[in-house]
Structure 1
Amino acid sequence: MTKQIGIVGVSPEGASLCYQQLFRHAAVMLEPHMHPVVCVHNIPLAQYVEAVRRDDWMQVAALMRNSAEKLASIGAEFCFTPDNAVQHAVQLAEASCPIPWLKMTSAVAAKIEEDNRKTIGVIGTKYVTSGSAYQTDLGMKGIKLVRPSEEDTEMLNRIIFDELVFGIVRKESQLKMLDVISRFGDKGCEGVILGCSEAPLMITADNCDLPLYNASDIMAEQAIRFAMAD
């Protein structure tokens, strides 16, 4: 019997994509149709955005813990969030939480280390690309993180918040994101982290030359493995 999984949703679009990713991994790793029980809880994205913009990580953690407690109350045995921007608050959210958390940045760093990559780019909102969550986990493994330029960071932030979180995919924006990734290759990057759970709506292995580390998908696979473990 697998453990029940709880997803702490932040961006509805990102959480729904991760929900699908969980079941795709389950279909490969478990017996047919024997996927784990999965429950999702989300608080309005606006509350997270307001707290992150104030740099109030205690409030971000409180919102995440609120969701985790509700998930635990209906049977979730562990939880995670596929949202990249709030990974900085996972350890704070786990304090006094009734169920354990899995941390996505740690899972991504482990996968990159497994592939023996030494230099990696990252795309995401400015809270991801300018934050320390990925840099810390990668740095502890001797992996160099390359960030977008300031101009590219603002452009990515605009595309994500104005388009992707609403499920909007514009060809012009897709080409801009691919151009950022191409420049990572010019800087010696051996791959790029999709540090935005909605990024796969625009960026896939079919249209990108660099190896991709889809953070949400990596987290979904780890969640299935954790659910299967004794």
Structure 2
Amino acid sequence: MTKTLPPKVLGVLGGMGPAATLDFLAKLQAATPVAREQDHLRVLVDINPKVPDRNAGDDAAGPVLAAMAVGLREAGAQVLAIACNTAHAYAEQVKASGLPLVDLIETAGLAAQAHGAARVGVLGTGGALALYRRTFSRQAIEAVTLDDHEQVEFMALLYRIKHGDLGPASRETMAALAHRLVGKGAQVVVAGCTEVPLVMGAADLSVPFIDATEALARRCVAVCLAD
């Protein structure tokens, strides 16, 4: 008789920012099929808002993320996830821990492919957009992005959200930026920053909306439950 293996322990590198990590954890819980409390995954989380700004143009975040990954491994994690798109620039340093990483950028691309989309709008930081362009090129997807002045507007909005501004003005501005991507021919729009879903959802768009945070949660569940 084949013995079923227990679910893998998930380690989450978070805190970038804290609200986005909590959003990911809520979606992870919602995505887990359970009949009882004990069926949920064991999740080890390092919520570390002291990680240097990933948009600062230096590599200061890399060693901190690498140390977080090692700490999670030593605590018992068997699989890793990063609740931040831009931090995936340091994916190789995280994977140096020896643990597999469920890649958020790749996961969003797979979700876009599932929609049959060839032109995908991405709302993300400059660093995240570079990662999306590289990954999408391998997936035969064209990334549709904001103009330079619109990107400046997005970054200003992003930092307001990180500071806790989740009100109507932030929601309206994010939706307006997403609609500009649709106007440029985006067939779907990806929340390529984990703060985006805090102020926008599928109801705000006329095309499919891919919440990369939610897609990552679903994939983490699948990976951890796979024998």
State if a TM-score over 0.5 links the two structures. Answer: yes
Q: 1:1-230 residue pairs with structure 2 within 5 A?
A: 1-9=6-14, 10-26=16-32, 29-33=33-37, 34-45=39-50, 47-49=51-53, 52-56=55-59, 59-95=60-96, 97-129=97-129, 132-161=130-159, 163-230=160-227
Q: What is the CA-CA distance between 1:114 and the residue it aligns to?
A: 2.0
TM-score by length of structure 2 reads 0.91
Q: What is the CA-CA distance between 1:40 and the residue it aligns to?
A: 0.5
CA distance in 1, matches of 2:138, 2:57: 28
Return the letter of the residue paired with 2:8. Answer: K
Q: Is the 8 A contact 2:174 2:196 kept in 1?
A: no
Structure 2: distance between partners of 1:208 and 1:80: 28
TM-score of the two chains, using structure 1 as the length reference: 0.90
Whether the aligned pair in 1 keeps the contact of 2:9 and 2:41 (CA below 8 Å) is: yes
Residue pair 2:21, 2:83 contacting (<8 A) in 1 also: yes
Q: Distance in 1 between matches of 2:106 and 2:198?
A: 23
- Is the contact made by 1:181 and 1:210 (CA closer than 8 Å) also made in structure 2? no
Task: Read off the aligned partner of 1:175 and give its amino acid letter.
Answer: E
Q: Which runs of 5+ in 2 are unaligned?
A: 1-5
**Structure 1 unmatched runs, 5+:** none
Residue matched to 2:3: none
Q: How many angstroms does 1:14 deviate by? A: 1.0
Distance in structure 2 (CA, Å) of the matches to 1:169 and 1:82: 19
Per-residue displacement from partner, 1:19-67 (whole Å, max 9, x unpaired)?
Answer: 11100001xx34343111011103334x421x641332xx322211111
Per-residue Cα deviation, 1:81-127 (whole angstroms, up to 9, x for no partner): 020111121123212x1322111111111121122110011112233
Cα separation, 2, equivalents of 1:125 and 1:137: 15
Counterparts of 1:25 and 1:77, CA distance in 2: 19
Q: Which amino acid aligns with 1:54?
A: G
Tell me how far 1:145 sits from its aligned partner.
0.2
- Residue identity over aligned pairs, in percent, reads 20
User: Aligned residue pairs: how many?
Assistant: 220
Equivalent-residue separation in structure 2 for 1:180 and 1:206 (angstroms): 15
The aligned amino acid for 2:31 is: H
Quick one: distance in 2 between partners of 1:146 and 1:52? 20
In 1, the alpha carbon distance for the partners of 2:57 and 2:180 equals: 31
CA RMSD of the aligned region, Å? Answer: 1.6
